[in-house]
Structures are given as structure tokens and as C-alpha cells.
Amino acid sequence: MNSNLIKNPIMLALDVDTKEQAKKILDQVGSEVGAIKIGPRLGYQYGADFIKECAAIAPVFIDNKYFDIPSTMVSAVKTSFQAGATFVTVHALSGKEALTELAKLEKELNQIRPFKILAVTILTSWDQQSMPKSLHPWAVSEHVVSLANLVQESGLSGLVCSAHELELLKNHNLYKVTPGIRPAEASTDDQKRVMNPQQALRAGASALVIGRPILQAPNPKQAVLDILKTI
């Protein structure tokens, strides 16, 4: 599913500890990436003003993975939008009632400006062995497809999944964001289900979350440009 929300598919995972570190990275790559992903690590420390600063550079993806009762999730997503987010994550596991309410909210907020709620399926740091035993004893891929069906039925249009499940979701008309993206030569770190950028886009990814291969590169800007050349 195509979208004009971002100029290229790289979503920079800005996983650093301080505003100063974030600014240093964004001075180098902010104009090159499609979006800036901000999690609790920076978002809770520096708040809405910091998010607004980042949104002036590139579309912001607030990745707090909201998972609560429907009214609380709606309020959290609305607050994230007001802070300047173009993308926000929620957990698909929160269920159909919550996702349906969020789909209504997404439609309302898009009357103001482009905005997408991304429902997280199964975390890319989980594999069959590390998935909570309390979940139904399906394969990871079965959980992802079931949750993607739920997302689509609810009226939401975007999700987060591993690139390994993209082939199974090719008939789902959804905006698919894939974490766990590593250039061929990079370490997998704590991600279990990984893929390189070219493979993920060929498999149907709409956007790619990439962090450490850029953040830890000797020249972050060149690392982004090198990735863009391959896709």
C-alpha cells in the first residue's frame, strides 16, 4: 500500500539518550530520512516541544505502542497527534473494540492533516521460543496473520510486522512498516526476525525502521545514502 506521508521509506529509529545526541544525528541525516521514530526514551524526557522540533525536520513517528482500554488509547493517540506525530503505534492485541474506535479517530484526524495509526502485531524481538506462553500456541506467523486480519476488519490501514511475515500479508491492503531491518553486513543485535532493506521492500514493505546501522555508523549521513542507493 503506497502512501505520500514520507519522501522515502527510511524511518530513522532515534534511539539515543539525550537531546544533544539526537540533534547531532538529525543535523547529519534529518534531511535525508523519510521519518524520525521517537520512543519513550526521548519522548518522555523531552516531551511535546521536542517532538514539534523534530516534526519541523521530517515526519515524526511516535512509537509508544499504546495498549490500554479503548478510551485511554484514543486519548493517548490524540495527544500524540497534537504533539506533531504523523505516525503512532498501538498494540493490535488490544482487540477489535479499541482498534475500531481508533480507526474512527484516524479518519477524523486525517481531516486535519495526514496521519496514520500503526497496529503492532508481534514484536520483532520475539521468536517462537521467546513468545509469551500465555498466547495461543500458534506459530508466530499465524499470530501475525490473525492480528493483521483484525486490523483490517477494524478499519485501520497500517500495521507493524516483521519482514518475514510480509509474504503472508501480500493480499492485505495495508501500509506495512517493518522493524528489524539490517543491511547485509550489519549485526542483528537484539532483533530475532530480520531482513535487509532490498529484500523487505521486494516482499511488500511500505517503510523500513532502521536504527543502529545508521546511528552507529562512522558517517551516519553516508550510511543513509548507501541504503537509499540499494533501494
> Which residues, other chains included, contact 164 with Cβ-Cβ below 8 Å and sequence gap of 6+?
141, 193, 195
Residue 159 backbone phi and psi in degrees, to 5: -145, 170
Please give the helix or strand (H or E) that residue 54 lies within, else none. Answer: helix 40-55
Active-site annotation holder among 7, 19, 37, 65: 65
Element (H, E) at 178: strand 175-178
Beta-carbon contacts of 133 under 8 Å, excluding residues fewer than 6 positions away, are none
Burial class (CB in 10 A: 0-12, 13-18, 19+), 218: exposed
How far is Cα 32 from Cα 26, in angstroms, rounded to an integer? 9
Antiparallel, parallel or unpaired: β 175-178 and 85-91: unpaired
Task: Give Dmax over CA atoms of the chain in angstroms.
Answer: 46
65 is catalytic: yes
Catalytic residues: 65
